[in-house]
Amino acid sequence: MLFYWYKPTKGGFVSNIAQLRKDKNMTQRQVAAALDMDVSTVRNWEKGREGLKMFVRVAKLCNLFGCDPADLYDADEVNGGDRP
């Protein structure tokens, strides 16, 4: 299972988050509100400034284990049982 929100390049990884957001006709502000976070976080993800390495590590873990990101944690402990 290969995740489509990043792609490896010679110099590292390029985020596809902005394109995925645009494909859904969403603004950065709407994404931030949906995830209950600051819009600057979404902006940084899209520009590859921060967080992208964490996404790549999660994708690699999921590829290794053959699972989805939601399988890596217990939703009951994280947010009272609300699974994404």
Q: What is the pTM of this model?
A: 0.65
The Cα–Cα gap between 31 and 21 comes to 8
Q: Which residues pair with 14 in a beta bridge?
A: 7
What's CA 82's distance to the chain center, in Å? 18
Q: 18-56: per-residue pLDDT in tens?
A: 999 999 999 999 999 999 999 999 999 888 887 778 888
Report the percentage of the chain scoring pLDDT > 70.
75
CA of 8: how far to CAs of 3, 52, 61, 81, in Å? 11, 11, 16, 34
Tokens of 62: 């999921």
Amino acid at 73: Y
Q: Which CATH number fits domain 6-69: 3.30.200, 1.10.260, 2.30.29, 2.20.100?
A: 1.10.260
